Structure 1
Amino acid sequence: MPSPSESYLLDFHARLAGVTSRWFGHAPVQRDGETAPSTYALLEAVVPHDARPLAVLDLACGDGYLLELLARRKQPGLSLLGLDMSEHELAAARGRLNGAATLFQGRAQSLPFGDASVDVVLSHLALMLMDDVEAVLAELRRVLKPGGRVSIVVGGDLVPGNALEVFAGLMKSAATVAPTRLGDPKVRSSDGLRELFAEGFVDVTVRSLSVQGDGPPQEVWESLLTTYDADRLPPAAQASIKAAFLQAVEPLRRSDGSVPLQWGMRQLTAFRMP
C-alpha cells in the first residue's frame, strides 16, 4: 500500500510523465566553474568507458532519459537497468528505450536485484522524495558490488537573485496549502547527505550545482508550476501567483526577453566499501 506521499507522487507522474527530463534534459549546469550539458550528463559521465561487463542501475529512472544517454554509447558489456514505481513513467521509458534497458516497476526500499549484482547506481532528483531513506541506502549497500559507485543528483539551496527566488517568496506568502512533506530532510543538506552515506560508503563527495533554466517568463512559469508544491495549489491560487509572478519578474527581463532561472542542486558520489 503506497504511503500518502507515494500516492501523491504516483498521481503527479501519471499526469506529468516525462516532466523531469522535459525541464532538465537540456538545461546547462555549472559545477566547480565548468559547464556541462545537463545534470543527466553529469550522471552519465560517472559510468566508466571500458569494455568490461558493467551493470548500471538508474534508480527512479522516470521516462528513461538517463538510460537513453547511456544506451547511445553502444558500449560492449554495458547492462542497463531501470526501476521506477510509476507505471506511467515506465511506459514512456519503454517507448524511448526500445529494449535498450531492462525496466522494473518497484520501490527503492525493496530492490528486485541480487546481492552485490550492480556496479553503478545512478539517481536523478529522486532520493530526496523517498520515504524511509535509511532503507533505500541499505538496499544500495546490498545490491552494489564492493567498490561499486553511486552518484545521485538531489535538490540544493535556493540561488538568490533570479526567478526561482521570486517564485519561492510568492509561494511562502500564499500559504493556502501545507508544503508537501516528501522524503527525509537530511537529503536536503550537504551535511545530512554525508551523514546518510557515512555507513558502508567511502570517498563521499558532495558538489554544488547551478542549473540554468532561463527562458521567456511564461515558459519559466510553466516549469515552476510543475514543482510539487505549486502543483498542489488550487487553480485560483495558481492563477493568482502566476499573475504576481509575471509582474514581479519583469525587472529581471533581459533584452532577448528571457528571465534568469537557476536551480540549486547537489551531486553526491560515493563508493561501496570494499
Structure 2
Amino acid sequence: MPSPSESYLLDFHARLAGVTSRWFASAPVQWDGETAPSSYALLEAVVPRDERALTVLDLACGDGHLMELLARRKQPGLSLVGLDMSAHELAAAQARLNGAATLIQGRAQSLPLGEASVDVVLSHLALMLMDDVETVLAELRRVLKPGGRVSIVVGGDMVRGEALEVFSKLLRPLLCEEAVPPARLGDPRVRSVDGLRGLFGAGFADVTVRSLSVQGDGPPREVWESLLTTYDADRLSPAAQASLEAAFLQAVEPLRRSDGSVPLRWGMRQLTAIREDRAA
C-alpha cells in the first residue's frame, strides 16, 4: 500500500511522465568552474568506460533518459537495470530504450535484486523524495558489490535573485490562502550537506558532495512552465495557478535580458560514495 506521499508522486508522474528529463536533460550544469551538458551527464560519467562486466542500477529511473545515455555507448559487458514505482514512467522508458535495459516496477525500500549484484547505483532527483531513506540506503548497501559506487543527484539550495526566488515568494501566500500544506516528501536530511554525509556515514567510504548550479534560463513563459511542474505549485487549484502565472510573468519582467530570457538556476548536489568492503 503506497504511503500518502507515494500516492501523490504516483499521480503526479501518471499525469506528467517524463517531466524531469524534459526540463533537465539539456540543462547545462556548473560547479567549481567546471561545466557539463546536464546533471544526467554527470551521473553517466560515473560509470567506467571499459570492457568489464558491469551492472548499473538506475534507481527511480523515470523515463529512462540516463540509461539511454549509457546505452548509446554500446559498451560490451554493460548491463542496465532501471527501477521505478511508476508504471507510466516505465512505459515511457520502455519506448525510449527499446529493450536496452531491464525495467522493473518496484520500490527502493525493497529492491528485487540479489546481494552484491550491482556495480554502480545511480539516481537522479529521487532520493530526496523517498520515504524511509535509511531503509533505502540499507538496500543500496545490500545490492552493491564491495567497492561498488553510488552517485546521486538531489535538490540543493535556492539561488537568490533569480526567477526561482521570485516564484517562491509569490507561491507561499497562495498555498496559505488555499490551505495547502507543504509537500512533505522524503527525509529533510537529504536536503543538506551535513544530512547527506550523516546518512551515508555507515557502510560507505570516500563520500564526496559537490554543489551544482543547473541552468534553466529561458523565455519567461517557458520558465513559468518548468516552475509550474514543481510539487507545491502542482497542488494549487487551477484558479490559483492562473493567478500565480500572471503575477510571476509580471514580476520577472525586470529580470528579462536583451535576448528575452530570464535567469533561472536550480541548486542541486551530487553525492558519490563507495560501498565499504566490510559489512555495514
* Shorter-normalised TM range: over 0.9
TM-score by length of 2: 0.97
Match runs of 1:92-241 below 5 Å: 92-174=92-174, 175=176, 176=178, 177-241=180-244
SS in 1 for 2:10: helix
Paired AA for residue 166 in structure 1: V
TM-score by length of 1: 0.99
Pair 1:63-2:63 in alignment: yes
Alpha-carbon separation, structure 1, partners of 2:173 and 2:232: 13
Post-superposition CA distance 1:97-125 (Å, at most 9, x none): 00000000000000000000000000000
Paired AA for residue 275 in structure 2: R
Pair 1:270-2:267 in alignment: no
Look up the match of 1:258.
261
- How far 1:128 sits from its partner (Å)? 0.2
- How far 1:33 sits from its partner (Å)? 1.1
Alpha-carbon separation, structure 2, partners of 1:188 and 1:197: 13
The two structures, once aligned, show a CA RMSD in angstroms of: 0.5
Alpha-carbon separation, structure 2, partners of 1:161 and 1:78: 43
- How far 1:173 sits from its partner (Å)? 2.3
Paired AA for residue 190 in structure 1: V
Paired AA for residue 98 in structure 2: N
The gaps in structure 1 that reach 5 residues or longer are: none
Alpha-carbon separation, structure 1, partners of 2:51 and 2:31: 28
Which is worse superposed, 173-182 or 84-93? Answer: 173-182
- How far 1:32 sits from its partner (Å)? 1.5
The gaps in structure 2 that reach 5 residues or longer are: none
- How far 1:172 sits from its partner (Å)? 1.6
| Seq. identity, % | 84
